[in-house]
């Protein structure tokens, strides 16, 4: 198994949003942060495409976030 993990130190993904991160065209609503939220960024396709490609190669992708201290995306692929 080959594992690749990408992590950031942003605000994280809220627990109620985690089940939707692989849905096509889904974008998390802006959370109250005191800043002008504006429209959500991106198309909502990134993780859906990642999941499709990883699964096509027999792998698995997971997302972990505590909703406050960043997010990590882990891709596991067969080594052979």
CATH of the domain at 7: 3.30.565.10
How long a stretch of residues is the chain? 80
Beta bridge partners of 74: 5, 62
In a domain, 73, yes or no: yes
Question: 0.85 exceeded by the pTM?
Answer: no
SS3 75: strand
Q: Which of 75, 26, 78 is nearest to 52 (CA)?
A: 75
Q: How many domains does the chain have?
A: 1
In a domain, 37, yes or no: no
Residue 6 and residue 73 in contact, taking contact as beta carbons nearer than 8 Å: yes
In which domain, by residue range, is 53 found? Answer: 2-30+42-77
In a domain, 52, yes or no: yes
Segment 21-79, tens digit of pLDDT: 999 988 877 654 545 556 666 788 899 999 999 999 999 999 999 888 899 999 999 99
In a domain, 36, yes or no: no
Residue 72 and residue 80 in contact, taking contact as beta carbons nearer than 8 Å: no
In a domain, 24, yes or no: yes
């Amino acid at each position: 198994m080959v594992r690749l993990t990408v992590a950031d130190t942003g605000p994280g993904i809220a627990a109620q949003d985690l089940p939707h991160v692989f849905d096509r065209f889904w974008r998390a609503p802006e959370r109250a942060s005191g800043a002008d939220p504006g429209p959500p960024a991106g198309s909502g396709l990134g993780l859906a495409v990642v999941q499709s490609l990883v699964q096509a190669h027999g792998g698995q992708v997971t997302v972990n976030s505590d909703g406050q201290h960043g997010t990590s995306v882990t891709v596991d692929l067969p080594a052979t």
